[in-house]
Amino acid sequence: MPDSHKCLRDKLQKWQQTAFFPHSQIDMHLSNAPSEAIEVRELWKVIENPASRVEILRNLSFTVPHGQFVAVMGASGSGKSTLLGLLAGLDTVSSGSIILDGIDITRMREDALARLRGQKIGFVFQSYQLVPTLTAEENVLLPAELSGANGNSRRRAVELLERVGLSHRLRHYPVQLSGGEQQRVALARAFITGAPILMADEPTGNLDSSNGQHVLELLLSLNREERTTLVLVTHDPKLAAYADRIITLSDGQILRDEIRNQA
C-alpha cells in the first residue's frame, strides 16, 4: 500500500481480530478434497440464563455442494442471520458441528478461525462495513493486505472494481460514494482473496430497487465467474428466486428445503 498508509495493518489489526479478515494465511492440509462446501450436523444455538431458555436454532442438518447458490429465507426472528453468523465462524454453536470445505470449525480457537475466514470465506454485509478512512481501492485490498497475499493483489483489486463498474472511483472514500457504489466496493472486497465460499446478509436491503437489482446482478455474475459457493440470507422472494436452492427457516427449524436448479 502507499507510504501514507504504511501503518494501515497495525491500525486495523485489532479491529479485525473478531471480524472476517485474517492476520496471516492458514495452511489447511486435507487428505482428500471435500465433497461438500458446507456441512451442518445437528446444529443448535441456545441462549440460557437462570430465568429462561431461548432456542434460536434447533437441530439443523444440511449440506451444500460446491458451486451451489443457496438462499436462506424466513421471517424476522426465524434464525437466518444467526445461522449465517455461525456458518462464517462469527458466533459459537451450542451443540452440533459445522464443516467448511472439509474443516470442522466448531472447536477452533478464534485466531485459527480468523485465519480460516480469510482463506475460505468472502462476506457481504447489508451495511457495507467499509473503512471510512480508506479509499475504494484500499478497502478492496484490505483482506489481501492483512493476509499477506502476493504482489498481484493490487492488480486484482483494480480488476474487480472495473468489473463492478467503479474504475473511475478507485481513489474515492466511502463518504464520496452512493449506497449502491459502496455495496459494489464491498462486493469487490468479498472476492479479492479468491475464497471458495461467499456469504451475503441481505446485500440489497439498504438499497432502492434499481440499485438493489444492479448489485444483485453483479453479485450473481461475479459468483458464476469465480465459481464460488454462495449462501445468501434474504427476506425477499424475488431475490431468492435466482437461487439454485431455497432453505426456509421457521422458529429455528428448517420448514422447507427446495432444490430449484442443479448447481
Pairing of strands 52-65, 245-250: unpaired
Nearest residue to 222 (alpha-carbon basis) of 140, 130, 129: 140
Give residue 126's pLDDT: 87
d(CA 229, CA 216): 15
Assigned C-alpha cell, 92? 459459537
State pTM to two decimals: 0.82
Give residue 114's pLDDT: 84
**246: which strand partners?**
71, 258
Nearest residue to 246 (alpha-carbon basis) of 75, 81, 71: 71
Residue range 167-186: average pLDDT? 95
d(CA 114, CA 146): 11
Does the pLDDT value for residue 252 go beyond 50? Answer: yes
Give residue 25's pLDDT: 39
- Domains in the chain with CATH codes: 66-92+107-259 (3.40.50.300)
Q: How confident is the model at residue 13 (pLDDT cuts 50, 70, 90)?
A: very low
Task: Share the mean pLDDT of the chain.
Answer: 85
Residue range 165-177: average pLDDT? 95
Model confidence over 179-193: pLDDT tens digits? 999 999 999 999 998
Give residue 115's pLDDT: 84
Does the pLDDT value for residue 34 go beyond 80? Answer: no
Give residue 117's pLDDT: 85
Sole residue written with cell 470465506? 121
Residue range 108-132: average pLDDT? 89
Q: What percent of the chain has pLDDT over 70?
A: 85
Model confidence over 178-234: pLDDT tens digits? 999 999 999 999 999 889 999 999 999 889 888 889 999 999 998 888 899 999 999
Q: Please say whether the beta carbons of 213 and 221 come within 8 A.
A: no
